[in-house]
Structure 1
Amino acid sequence: MTELITKFMEWKQFNKGVSKRTVEAYTAALERFAQFLDGRDLRTATSDEIEMFGGIWLHKQGVGAIARRPYVAALREFYKWLAAGGAIKQNPAAGLSYPKAGRKLPSMMTLANAEKLMWAPDFSTFSGVRDAAILSLLVGCGLRREGVSSLNESNLVQTEFKGDRRYILRVIEKGEKERTMPVPREVDMVLRLYLEHDELQAIDRTLENGDKVLFVSLNNMTVPPHEYFGENRRLAPKAIWEIVKKHGKAAGIPDDQLHPHALRHLFGTELLEDDVDIRIRQELMGHADPRSTEIYTHLAMRKKMAEADRANPLAKIRTPVGDLISKLRRPS
């Protein structure tokens, strides 16, 4: 059964482009279903057995309605694949429905607390500059923690905007899909402080293809010292969450707002509050289906850059970099 599940997940990954996290979640769900069947061939499962597993059995195991949805999705896709390939005559999961649960409103960090968060890192230390750059991307660009973790230097592309050097960011997040977005001025400046830091220059973060990991870990005790370079220096998504919690707690921000997604919700809400065009909002948030072969026109990128500068949360609160920008904008 392990081989059958592996073949299915390889098909999903290489034909449907699902993310690594989806592969892991589906594999775990199907392996748990195989245990439920007590070693029987998955191809012999009945509709009743699938319904029982996806409903009352998982419920009794303490799996809530929302947490059961990936199990249901895995079963539906798996048996649809088996039926399409002729491995089974009928799809026993065709009528399996998703568990219903009340819609939970996402927690969102307030602008006031985002301001406190941005002042929390210590800019006199390398770790503080690194953390500030990460927090800036979460607040000012609305990135997911996985997107921040996966960034390499090649994801930052130099361009010119109103006479200044500016970054454009190529982001790879949900479903391994790539999108391109402008980097707001405040985020741009913190990224440059980080990239030009002397301590970063001394770290070997070069990958096999010559690219460089963008955000580095500083005290990963699970990696032997002689292997602590290249990909092994990459900061994990979980560590990014820890950075949010660490500085958020120090700033006195409530626990329910100390999650990277709370910062993403703030970003999306502020774009809406400032009446940013819905098409540009979808592109900035990464909600629209991206076209991998499409190259944004210079005019479209200029429009998005201006909107991101104007409406992102960091432009509305006082930050260390914001103060510097204000001084630079004053006439001499």
Structure 2
Amino acid sequence: MSDARWISAFLEAQAAEAGAAENTRLAYGRDLMAFCDWLGARGASLATAGRTEIEGWLAEAADAGLAASTRARRLSSVRQLYRFAFSEGWRADDPAAPLRGPGKRQTLPRTLSRAQVDALLAAAETHGRTDRDRARTRCLFQLLYATGMRVSELVALPVAAARGDPRMLLIRGKGGRERMVPLSPPARAALAVWLTLRDAAEDKAATETRRGPSRFLFPSTGKAGHLTRHRFWGIVKELAPAAGIDPAQVSPHTLRHAFATHLLEGGADLRAIQTLLGHADLSTTEIYTHVLQERLRALVLTHHPLAREA
């Protein structure tokens, strides 16, 4: 089989059997195509490459200055492809199995203070040219901070999940795992206003264009059918200066980190936060304990009289 067919079959299996999210499959595809291009330039292919070729590709990435996390992800993509190829009988060996990737340097997630989140939510109230635009922005930010959703989960929310003034939202996360997250009163209020304006716009569009209603809470005329992650990223960057925050210091995921950190500061149980975030492993959630410890340390060093004297 051609390299392209190997990758296609692997990605199909990831979707059907492993339940891999679309963004994960796209990342696998990019890494594997880059590896195939590298092999092709050297007269090799996925069927003939061995450990030496894989190590050479990774070494070249290191020489080019790629981050350890990027190289580790690339190796993970190749390793999973060859594991799949071995299980399917396409190869008699697994050349990637003995390889170990570069150690990842653990970095604390960037978060926001409560005052910064309040400023961002206040800025969202007036962002947009029309009442509909402003209502959508307000709803997006209220939902994101109230639930700690991933941005991909937020923009692709089905409108059916938001009907009937819900106290909780059902979210389908990574790997198709579902979880329930509660809504705060401000988030419910913002959702109700947005639904009214959204439905009116959808009814008007259906009359004028004869197209069916969108199944998404945040519909769009683009290919995806809903607001894209990239557009929401752009909204965040537009709002940051109005909230007095450096745009380089904030992203949609920063609000997810703020959600978790503020819950922990308020005394929430780590297991509960794990459930709300949709983490499969508690160790992923435990990073927020380090964030809290670092903030407390900075607080002491900044305000304790003995620290100031030192």
Which residue is 1:150 aligned to?
A: 156
Contact (CA 8 Å) 1:107, 1:256: kept in 2 or not? Answer: no
**133 and 175 in structure 1: CA distance in 2 versus 1, 3 angstrom threshold:** same
Q: Does 1:267 align with 2:256?
A: no
Q: Does 1:215 align with 2:207?
A: no
Percent identity of paired positions between Structure 1 and Structure 2:
30
**130 and 211 in structure 1: CA distance in 2 versus 1, 3 angstrom threshold:** closer
The equivalences for 1:168-179 within 5 A come to 168-179=168-179
The equivalences for 1:98-247 within 5 A come to 98-120=101-123, 121-122=125-126, 125-156=131-162, 158=164, 166-197=166-197, 200-203=199-202, 212-217=215-220, 228=221, 234-247=226-239
Q: Which of these residues, 24, 31, 46, is aligned with residue 22 of structure 1?
A: 24
Give deviations 1:249-301, integer Å, cap 9, x for gaps. Answer: 12211234320111111100111112223332211111147xxxxxxxxxxxx
Contact (CA 8 Å) 2:119, 2:243: kept in 1 or not? Answer: yes
Contact (CA 8 Å) 1:213, 1:233: kept in 2 or not? Answer: yes
Structure 1 residue ranges without an equivalent (≥5): 159-164, 218-227, 290-332
Q: Secondary structure at the match of 2:108?
A: coil
Shift of 1:211: 5.6
Q: Which of these residues, 54, 60, 65, is aligned with residue 63 of structure 2?
A: 60
Shift of 1:108: 0.4
TM-score (norm 2): 0.79
Shift of 1:177: 2.8
Aligned-partner Cα distance in 2 for 1:189–1:138: 14
Shift of 1:245: 1.4
Give deviations 1:10-63, integer Å, cap 9, x for gaps. Answer: 111101110111111111111111111125231211111111212x11123442
Aligned-partner Cα distance in 1 for 2:69–2:253: 17
Shift of 1:216: 3.5
Q: Secondary structure at the match of 1:169?
A: strand
Contact (CA 8 Å) 1:150, 1:172: kept in 2 or not? Answer: no
By relative contact order (CA 8 Å, sep 6+), the higher-ranking structure is: 1
Aligned-partner Cα distance in 1 for 2:224–2:10: 30
Shift of 1:111: 0.7
**288 and 2 in structure 1: CA distance in 2 versus 1, 3 angstrom threshold:** closer
Give deviations 1:137-183, integer Å, cap 9, x for gaps. Answer: 1211111111111012112254xxxxxx5332121233343222221
Contact (CA 8 Å) 1:118, 1:132: kept in 2 or not? Answer: yes
Which residue is 2:271 aligned to?
A: 279
> Number of paired residues?
270
Aligned-partner Cα distance in 1 for 2:122–2:68: 39
Contact (CA 8 Å) 1:154, 1:211: kept in 2 or not? Answer: no
Of residues 121-130 and 33-42 in structure 1, the stretch that sits farther from structure 2 once superposed is 121-130
Which residue is 1:49 aligned to?
A: 53
Q: Secondary structure at the match of 2:227?
A: coil
Which residue is 1:309 aligned to?
A: none
**209 and 59 in structure 1: CA distance in 2 versus 1, 3 angstrom threshold:** farther
TM-score (norm 1): 0.74
Q: Secondary structure at the match of 2:179?
A: strand
Contact (CA 8 Å) 1:166, 1:185: kept in 2 or not? Answer: no
| Higher helix content, 1 or 2 | 2
Contact (CA 8 Å) 2:72, 2:101: kept in 1 or not? Answer: yes
Which residue is 2:5 aligned to?
A: 3
Structure 2 residue ranges without an equivalent (≥5): 282-310
